[in-house]
Amino acid sequence: MIAEVIVDLSNESVDKIFDYNSIEGLQAGQMVQVPFGNKVIEGFCIKLKDETDVPLDKLKSVKAILTVEPIITEKMFKLAEFMRKSYHLRMVDILRLFLPAEMRGGRVHEKIKNFVVLNEEFLNDVESLNIRKNANQQHNLLCYMQANKVAEYTKVCDMFSRGAVLALEKKGVLSVCEKVVERRPKIFEIEKKDITLNEAQSQVLNKILNDDGGKFLLYGVTGSGKTEIYMRVIEDCLKRGKTAIMLVPEISLTGQVLSNFTSRFGDNVAILHSGLSSGERFDEWQRLRSGKAKIAVGVRSAIFAPLDNIGAIIIDEEHDSSYMSESNPRYNTHEVAEFRAKLDNATYILGSATPSLESYERAKEGELELLTLSERANKKQMPKIHIVDMCAEMSRGNASPFSYKFQDELKKCIDEGSQAIVFINRRGYSSFVRCVDCGYVAKCTDCDVSLVLHKEDNQLKCHFCGKRFRVLTKCPMCGSERIKQGAIGTQRVVEELQKAFPNVPIFRMDNDTTKTKNSHIEILKKFAESKPSILVGTQMVAKGHDFPDVSFVGIIDADLSLHFSDFRSNERTFQLITQVAGRSGRAQKSGTVVLQTYSPKHFVYRKAVENDYLGFFDKEINLREVTNFPPFSKMVRLLFVGDDELKVKQNLSQIYFKVKELLKQYDKDVYYYEAMNSPVKRIQNKYRYQILMRYKNSLHDEIIQQLYDIVDKNKDKKVSVFVEINQQNLS
Ligand code: ADP
Ligand code: ZN
Ligand code: ZN
């Protein structure tokens, strides 16, 4: 037999199938070792066949099989093929997504520990043993083992002594054996809730359960009990002997969604996210593959969980931008999930309180069945949002970052012993650092962006590449000492709030405070346990959390995401405000939200205050339609990145010429195309240029394949060209 192998090297020149002589027992889907050049490397066996065109004297043989069983199924190969075609990815980059990174190259293995086990005969019987009277350690160890039967070897050695363990082993009382131990990730523990579905939830659930393999958009306001529905759907999958995948956004990893799932389904749940140690990830993945766990809950890459016979795939907070992979390999999780659901005839559910315009439009067109939950599960009112005009505040003489309304409401909340969440979409202390006299702004040496002051470690940091710089005491251009700080960030907000409420615990949650493992969980736990208390943070505080005692939410600078020059900025701002506001007033206490802005009349804010998603949708979708933006067109960006600016520009022009020729043929159905700098011209010392285009949806399959072709044929070896479709982040 001949084995088709994809070698585990991500490089254009080896992005093809290599034929090898197979060896005994090899099956498609297993990982193998093969000779390659003068090395031996790993690869994926993707197929076995009878014949090859490779001359026999050139044909090498597979050296070894690395996995006991196939780890990539036939269906997963189909999914890989779909992704290769849709996103023009290298096969090996796709296959790598299908298994824990650390598994390749054998960097992680099962964790094996020694255990001591009590021999059953000695459970009660001590007489037949001749332990010396004064051998206390042995007596104690025996007692302990009679009570516990199994114990970790190192633990009993520490508790008693290695000698005692050895002695009892010699006497045949104990035996030592190896056992695989599972490394399980930590989660935020909560009690299991017994919930009776309300009328609206029951209706929604019935619709889903009555349409096996259906495709749904569940639009339910914040706190409407969507999670409960997901859990019931999954319960039904398990009952029918099926498995399920549930995706959550990157940022709400530790949101109680995970906790709810574990408290309901116990060991049936495996958790997959970037905060796990490699051992934990490996073990969780193994539990899914072996069938020990039947539910995969995790971030976007959990869509590749090794499960068969999937009954449901659910994408929670489906509007979240983390579902779009923004670096290699780039893919759209919605599309991948939908394709995977189809392979197993699984039910496909998107859920959100603020569905993406794309998804809601699809529901309107009948491609997804729309299900609505328009009230909170406990009948609580939606929180009341007050808009504060910060210009007016300024003219009233308030120069603090907090408006009077903000201060009053926060004080009320604290006096009541409640909790508050304060949202500011910028981490660090203050945004830019500028010389008042000459206008000099501190910038990163490697990126075309200004630096952010981090007061805690007294440094300026680049938020694109992480590089650190010394804080300025003097302007390097003109020597002036009048250095001004820009708009405030999370650190500064904490500092100011602490001045106002010296005795109230204040917690900060942003990228800087959540770098270490489980730090999310620790912060949320501490916040939950202290009352009154304040949680200050970036987007991380916006999503998924269900704290019953939060009665105030403050949004410091709502405009931050609004003035981003991006066609999704209205949408993103509406989503963010609705999500943050939705953290408030979820249980007994009613919720108040103060939203500070310099554009109080903007329609996005008006609609958010009215809790009017549908009104927002109508207005925004109209705008997109008349301007031919997605979802009424495809927006494609070819991003050129390289060290040598001249080469990047030359390659850009060369490819732009071909692209122009191609798009001209489609005349009016192409709405726009242009070559230009990327908004951030340089990141980590690499220059960035782009070709942007928009064209009619129906042309996509045809045009995109030709674009891939143009890129392949004309790409400079020294330049990376990335093709992005309806991208979320165009920096
Ligand atoms: P969503 O995901 O829609 O924002 P959640 O699923 O987090 O909402 O539910 C919000 C709160 O309402 C949770 O505390 C949940 O336990 C509770 N809840 C859900 N369904 C019901 C119900 N039928 N009756 C009472 N409480 C419910
Ligand atoms: Zn200066
Ligand atoms: Zn930088």
CA of 453 to the centre of ligand 3 (A): 13
- Cβ–ligand 1 contact at 316 (below 6 Å): no
Q: Determine what percent of the chain is predicted with pLDDT higher than 90.
A: 58
Is pLDDT at 617 greater than 60 in this prediction?
A: yes
- Cβ–ligand 1 contact at 192 (below 6 Å): no
Query: Is 243 among the domain residues?
Result: yes
Ligand positioned closest to the Cα atom of 448: 3
Domain boundary among 59, 76, 106: 106
Query: Is 270 among the domain residues?
Result: yes
The larger pLDDT score, comparing residue 188 to residue 219, is at: 219
Q: Which residues surround ligand 3, an ion (CB under 5 A)?
A: 444, 446-447, 462, 464-465, 467
- Cβ–ligand 1 contact at 198 (below 6 Å): yes
d(CA 433, CA 474): 11
- Cβ–ligand 1 contact at 286 (below 6 Å): no
Ligand 1 atom nearest residue 228's Cα? 6
Contacts of 169 (CB under 8 A, 6+ apart): 116, 175, 176
Residues 540 and 416 in one domain: yes
How many degrees, rounded to 5, is the angle at CA 507 between CA 494 and CA 193?
Answer: 145
H helix count then E strand count, the chain: 20, 30
Write out pLDDT tens, residues 186-199.
Answer: 766 677 778 899 99
Residues 355 and 324 in one domain: yes
pLDDT number for residue 14? 85
CA of 325 to the centre of ligand 3 (A): 21
Give one DSSP letter per residue of 100-132, joined into a string.
-GGGGGG----EEEEEEEE-GGGTT--TT----
d(CA 582, CA 592): 10
- Cβ–ligand 1 contact at 571 (below 6 Å): no
pLDDT number for residue 222? 86
CA of 90 to the centre of ligand 1 (A): 42
Section 471-475 average pLDDT? 87
Instruction: Count up the domains in the chain and report the number.
Output: 5
Ligand 1 atom nearest residue 257's Cα? 7
- Cβ–ligand 1 contact at 201 (below 6 Å): yes
Residues 494 and 596 in one domain: yes
Section 522-532 average pLDDT? 90
CA of 470 to the centre of ligand 3 (A): 14
pLDDT number for residue 125? 66
Nearest CA owner, ligand 1 atom 27 = 377
Ligand 1 atom nearest residue 548's Cα? 14
Query: Helices 226-239 and 256-265 meet at what angle, rounded to 10?
Result: 30
CA of 437 to the centre of ligand 2 (A): 5
The larger pLDDT score, comparing residue 179 to residue 293, is at: 293
Which is nearest to 183 in space by CA: 277, 70, 318? 277
- Cβ–ligand 1 contact at 546 (below 6 Å): yes
CA of 224 to the centre of ligand 1 (A): 6
Residues 616 and 715 in one domain: no
- Cβ–ligand 1 contact at 220 (below 6 Å): yes
pLDDT number for residue 208? 97
Write out pLDDT tens, residues 73-102.
Answer: 999 999 999 999 999 999 999 999 998 877
Is pLDDT at 489 greater than 70 in this prediction?
A: yes
Confidence of residue 483 (pLDDT cuts 50, 70, 90): confident
CA of 720 to the centre of ligand 3 (A): 19
The answer to whether residues 255 and 404 touch, using CB atoms and an 8 Å cutoff, is: no
- Cβ–ligand 1 contact at 379 (below 6 Å): no
pLDDT number for residue 65? 92
Query: Is 192 among the domain residues?
Result: no
Query: Is 474 among the domain residues?
Result: no
d(CA 196, CA 208): 17
Task: Report which DSSP code applies to 711.
Answer: H
CA distances to 178, 468, 470, 473, 685 from 476, rounded to whole Å, are: 64, 17, 12, 9, 22
Residues 256 and 239 in one domain: yes
The answer to whether residues 406 and 594 touch, using CB atoms and an 8 Å cutoff, is: yes
- Cβ–ligand 1 contact at 377 (below 6 Å): yes
CATH number reported for the structural domain that contains residue 62 in this entry: 3.40.1440.60
d(CA 470, CA 487): 19
- Cβ–ligand 1 contact at 225 (below 6 Å): yes
- Cβ–ligand 1 contact at 319 (below 6 Å): no
Place of tokens 């060369």: 654
Is pLDDT at 253 greater than 70 in this prediction?
A: no
The larger pLDDT score, comparing residue 517 to residue 706, is at: 706
Is pLDDT at 254 greater than 60 in this prediction?
A: no
Contacts of 117-123 with CB under 8 Å at 24 or more apart are 117/149, 117/150, 117/174, 117/175, 117/176, 117/177, 118/145, 118/146, 118/148, 118/149, 118/150, 118/173, 118/174, 119/172, 119/173, 119/174, 119/175, 122/146, 122/173, 123/149
Query: Is 476 among the domain residues?
Result: no
Residues 86 and 215 in one domain: no
Ligand 1 atom nearest residue 193's Cα? 16
Section 710-719 average pLDDT? 94
Residues 164 and 223 in one domain: no
Section 272-284 average pLDDT? 84
Domain boundary among 85, 106, 127: 106
Write out pLDDT tens, residues 317-326.
Answer: 999 988 988 8
Section 393-407 average pLDDT? 92
CA of 361 to the centre of ligand 1 (A): 26
The larger pLDDT score, comparing residue 658 to residue 567, is at: 658
- Cβ–ligand 1 contact at 100 (below 6 Å): no
- Cβ–ligand 1 contact at 193 (below 6 Å): yes
d(CA 46, CA 53): 17
Write out pLDDT tens, residues 132-166.
Answer: 777 888 888 888 888 888 888 888 889 888 888 88
Ligand positioned closest to the Cα atom of 484: 2
- Cβ–ligand 1 contact at 214 (below 6 Å): no
CA of 449 to the centre of ligand 2 (A): 18
Residues 209 and 316 in one domain: yes
130 burial type by CB count under 10 A (0-12 exposed, 13-18 middle, 19+ buried):
exposed
User: Backbone phi, then psi, for 249, in 5-degree steps?
Assistant: -65, 155
CATH number reported for the structural domain that contains residue 283 in this entry: 3.40.50.300
CATH number reported for the structural domain that contains residue 683 in this entry: 3.30.70.600
- Cβ–ligand 1 contact at 197 (below 6 Å): yes
Query: Is 567 among the domain residues?
Result: yes
Q: Determine what percent of the chain is predicted with pLDDT higher than 70.
A: 97
Is pLDDT at 441 greater than 90 in this prediction?
A: no
Q: Which domain holds residue 169?
A: 111-181
Residues 238 and 311 in one domain: yes
Write out pLDDT tens, residues 581-597.
Answer: 988 877 777 889 999 99
Domain boundary among 60, 81, 106: 106
pLDDT number for residue 127? 63
Nearest CA owner, ligand 1 atom 1 = 223
Query: Is 298 among the domain residues?
Result: yes
- Cβ–ligand 1 contact at 260 (below 6 Å): no
Residues 297 and 362 in one domain: yes
Query: Is 187 among the domain residues?
Result: no
- Cβ–ligand 1 contact at 227 (below 6 Å): yes
- Cβ–ligand 1 contact at 226 (below 6 Å): yes
Best of 261, 378, 545, 547 for a ligand 1 pocket test (most atoms within 8 Å of beta carbon): 378
CA of 635 to the centre of ligand 3 (A): 27
Confidence of residue 106 (pLDDT cuts 50, 70, 90): low
Best of 188, 194, 195, 376 for a ligand 1 pocket test (most atoms within 8 Å of beta carbon): 195
The larger pLDDT score, comparing residue 339 to residue 380, is at: 339
Cα atoms in the Cβ-side hemisphere of radius 13 Å centred on 105: 6
Is pLDDT at 333 greater than 90 in this prediction?
A: yes
Is pLDDT at 238 greater than 90 in this prediction?
A: yes
What are the tokens at 631?
A: 């979802």
Residues 249 and 268 in one domain: yes
Full-model pTM = 0.87
Write out pLDDT tens, residues 343-368.
Answer: 999 999 999 999 999 999 999 999 99
Task: Report which DSSP code applies to 73.
Answer: -
Best of 228, 382, 543, 549 for a ligand 1 pocket test (most atoms within 8 Å of beta carbon): 228
pLDDT number for residue 556? 93
d(CA 273, CA 185): 10
Section 27-33 average pLDDT? 93
CA of 618 to the centre of ligand 1 (A): 28
Nearest CA owner, ligand 1 atom 23 = 197
- Cβ–ligand 1 contact at 96 (below 6 Å): no
Is pLDDT at 312 greater than 70 in this prediction?
A: yes
Residues 616 and 639 in one domain: no
